[in-house]
Amino acid sequence: MLKSCVPDHAATLALTLSPLILLAGAPAAAQDQAGAALPEVVVTAQRTPALESKTPVSMTVLGERQLVERGLENPGDIGAAIPNVEFDNATDGLRITMRGVSSADTTGKGDPSAAFMVDGVYIARPQIQNLSFYDLERVEVLRGPQGTLYGRNTTAGAVNVISRTPVDTFAFDAHAGIGNYRSREAGAMLNVPVNDALALRAAVVAHRHDSYLRNGQHTPYALGLDRDDVSARLSAKIRLHRDATLLLRADHSRVDDNNDSFVPDTNFYSGVSAGAPVWQGGSTRNLLTNRFISPNSTPSQGYSHKTTSSLGADLQWDLGAATLYYLGSHRDYDQQQLTNSYYRVAPGVALGVHQDFDGWYRQDSHEVRLASKAAGPLTGQAGVYYFRERSSQSYAFRDLEAAGLTPYYAFPHGPTRSASKALFGQATYQVRGDLRLTAGARRTMDKKSRYGATSFQQASVFNPATDLQLLNAADLATNQATWRLGADFDVTPSTMVYASIATGYKAGGFNDGCMAGAQALGLTCNPALAVPRTTLVYQPEQLRAYEAGVKTRFLDQRGALNVSVFSYDYTNLQLSGVAIVAGAPRFITNNAGEASVKGLELEGQFKLTAQDQLVYALSLLDAHYVRYSPDGVHSWNGNKLDRAPAHTVSLGYERSMRVADGVLAAGLDTRRSADYEIAVASQLLRYRVPARTETGASLRYTVAGGAWSVLARVKNLENKVRPISIDSFGMAVPSDPRTFDLRVDYRY
């Protein structure tokens, strides 16, 4: 039924709203039987606790129960539950797209378009954003620029993963599960109140499953789209005195999977060599089979080893009229990997290339913030923020002789440095009991630098007698202001309308290459191979968003509905891909002119009866380039932005009933998405991903008292896959096939 009505936006809206219309017009007696009220959710989207229904921001909140029952085990899974959002697990890290705003540069010099945070701390590298969910309170996804309270790299929005904190009662839980593709998972949590001033909490989780890909290369090696990770967190909540609490966190994660997680784009498309990809589809088995036989090299066993650890401190000190907050963190991240790449060097010609990578990253962040209490009509907050990242990476591509390059083509880079300082503040004035005005601003100063080389080598180690090195050297300093103006009004005690104008930006950066005369690392930039500054440096991208919305709860708090409409002015988009510069292939980011983004989002839920609940969402989106030429010749004006379907519809239903001495709950959810594009601008390629429907189901039995529960889950009942990313060489990462598992939980 959904499939037939989705193309008609008006019919889709009518279908989605029909339960609301029917219930609103139902007799009072029937409404009285509709069951218990929906629970209110407290969020921190505006950096202070508030009810979600009273927060004037377009956002979606996912609680731990929703995450578990729908099998949303990491950030890459949650796009299916949120309108106008795509979370994709590319080979080079998590790629977040909100309302068509995205980023493809996951290198050490690049920045995402959506700020990803864990417990309020910004995580810079996409490669470690997609770690397992465990022992969480909730996930908050804020759509639209958040440049005032969250700072840079929020042109798309912000994601905050919020873990549970130690509590003053003893608690223990554990779970274990198995599924297809030899899936195994296990986890546990222990909370211990040591005394009146100290509580401790420890949590650990581990996941494994075999590769979703099939090896058609006639080699004995396993392929990627597998999983092997373990994560642990230790938290301590210390009551320093009656007005001050310090929360300390330490976490560690290790991921040992396979980076060969792609198939050639020709699995999904014909016409690629002619520059006009056409979807050809096929069976899921065939789409997930890598049949590429390298004409020039023998594959090796691919791998990826990632480790990350962090230490964090979160201080809250009640000063009476205001609360002082300090949030600080240090994070280490190390990665080594070997990838057997599919490397298209000409239309219809691809080579097999080994890619080695070794890198380390260190980031520190500190924020001090003062927030007033609601003692009068004026409330506000102000703070200072500091971020620093240092990193070093070494890439090496080998087996490229057939492309006219030396046996080893290497990129030793480091140090790469990034620093950001900011001052910010936001205030809300209550004009009268039902009307509030908000204004905020932030000033950010960014500095970046990187020094390294592009090496053409005869062997794995550079030899100055036989090899050539080209200098890569650049630095950039920018100063940006972002701001927000808003108003919200209580139409009734349970209905709020709001409007805002907000800005955001993503930091600028630089590409491989150097300017004539530059010197670093004992190298001098050869004027014959130098690049102009306009090619070397790209500027920050900017976004201004106009948004209005309504949040309402109705039918005695048994129903909730959030609606927002928005329009963006989006300039200097940063688009990335591989291009030839100074005679060598390099990963290049350019500013891409202007884009227009307009749309509507609707989401909500109904407690139809005490046993029945309906969840729904609808998004409409028009996101396209207004002015953009990827090569200075061809115009892409009017083309859609990447991963920006014109509409999506989601419906979910859960029914619970008493069975024996427990409760049986059955859930079904489905999401229908219109077609969208994935573009590789540097190759002038546009890949259309056709419309699709994806459905999941769950069945949970909880014994009386809630100590034990058994959960059966299935995702992607249709067993259809699509490319979630395609790079400049033609490597396409497929989405997950149908998976199912059985999980047992125990709570004490």
Query: What's the confidence (pLDDT) of residue 9?
Result: 40
Element of type H or E holding 64: helix 64-69
User: Which one of 58-72, 342-356, 544-558, 589-603 scores highest in mean pLDDT?
Assistant: 544-558
Q: Is residue 694 part of a domain?
A: yes
pLDDT tier at 624 (50, 70, 90 boundaries)?
A: very high
Across 297-348, where does the E strand assignment appear? 303-318, 322-346
Backbone angles phi and psi of 227, in degrees to 5: -155, 135
What residue type is 154 in one-letter code? T
For residue 390, which amino acid is it?
A: R
Mean pLDDT, residues 342-368 taken together = 93
Range of the domain at 404: 2-42+175-747
608 SS3 class: coil
Provide the domain count of the chain.
Answer: 1
Q: Give pLDDT tens digits for 278-310.
A: 999 899 999 999 999 999 999 999 999 999 999
Amino acid letter, 701: Y
pLDDT band of residue 13 (cuts 50, 70, 90) is very low
69-88 mean pLDDT: 87
Which range of 83-92, 594-603, 678-687 scores highest in mean pLDDT? It is 594-603
286/267 Cα distance (integer angstroms): 8
Question: With bands split at pLDDT 50, 70 and 90, how would you rate the model's confidence at 95?
Answer: confident
pLDDT band at 582 (very low <50, low <70, confident <90, very high): low
Torsion of CA 678, 680, 683, 689, to 10 degrees: -10
Kindly state whether residue 93 falls inside one of the protein's structural domains.
Answer: no
Q: Is the pLDDT of residue 8 over 90?
A: no
Predicted confidence at residue 263, as pLDDT, reads: 96
| pLDDT one-digit tens code per residue, 626-660 | 999 888 888 999 999 999 999 999 999 999 999 98
List pLDDT tens digits, range 522-566. 889 988 888 888 888 888 899 999 999 999 999 999 999 999 999
Q: To 10 degrees, the CA torsion angle through 112, 117, 122, 124?
A: -40
- Residues listed for the chain: 748
Please report which confidence band the pLDDT of residue 584 belongs to, taking 50, 70 and 90 as the band edges. Answer: low
According to DSSP, the β-strands at 289-290 and 214-215 are: parallel
pLDDT digit string, tens, across residues 249-264: 999 999 999 999 999 9
Q: What is the mean pLDDT of the chain?
A: 90
As given in the structure block, the two tokens for residue 230 are 């373990």
User: Would you say residue 188 has pLDDT above 60?
Assistant: yes
Does residue 166 lie within any of the structural domains? no
Residue 27 lies in a domain: yes
- Lowest-confidence segment of 64-78, 98-112, 204-218, 571-585 by average pLDDT: 571-585
Q: Looking at residue 526, what is its pLDDT? A: 86
Tell me which of 436 and 534 has the higher pLDDT.
436
Residue 339 pLDDT > 80, yes or no?
yes
State the pLDDT confidence band at 211, using cuts at 50, 70 and 90: very high
What are 390-422's pLDDT values in tens digits?
999 998 999 988 888 889 989 898 889 999 999
pTM above 0.85, yes or no: yes
Q: Is residue 420 part of a domain?
A: yes
For the segment 174-200, the average pLDDT, to the nearest whole number, is 97
DSSP assignment, residue 704?
T
Q: How confident is the model at residue 577 (pLDDT cuts 50, 70, 90)?
A: confident
Q: Is 587's pLDDT higher than 80?
A: no
- Domain presence at residue 128: no
Task: For 27-46, write each residue's pLDDT tens digit.
Answer: 333 333 445 789 889 999 99
**pLDDT of 434 higher than 70:** yes
Q: Token pair for residue 386?
A: 């500091």
* 138: nearest Cα among 117, 167, 110: 117
For position 141, what pLDDT does the model report? 95
pLDDT tens digits, 318-329 = 999 999 999 999
CB–CB of 553/559 below 8 Å?
Answer: yes
**Given pLDDT bands bounded at 50, 70 and 90, which one contains residue 26?**
very low
Cα→Cα distances 661→657, 658, 701, Å: 11, 7, 10
Q: What's 323's domain CATH number?
A: 2.40.170.20
- Residue among 57, 34, 292, 42 at smallest CA distance from 158: 57
pLDDT at 20: 38
For a pLDDT cut of 90, what percent of the chain falls above it?
70
Q: Which residues contact 290 (CB under 8 A, 6 or more apart)?
A: 213, 214, 215, 216, 217, 223, 260, 262, 263, 264, 267
- In the predicted model, is pLDDT for residue 138 greater than 80? yes
pLDDT band (50, 70, 90) for residue 424: very high
Asked if residue 85 belongs to a domain, the reply is no
The predicted structure's pLDDT at residue 29: 34
178-199 b/e (C-beta count within 10 Å ≥ 16 → b): ebebebebbbbbebebeeeeeb
More confident residue, 482 or 683: 482
CA distance 538 to 338: 30
Percentage, residues of the chain above pLDDT 70: 94
What six digits make up the tokens of 452?
A: 């390294």
Looking up tokens 């749309």 gives: 599
Closest by Cα among 223, 251, 224 to 235: 251
* Residue 471 in domain: yes
Residues 480-507 as b or e (16 or more Cβ within 10 Å = b):
bebbbebbbbeeeebebbbebebbbbbb
Q: Does 740 have pLDDT greater than 90? A: yes
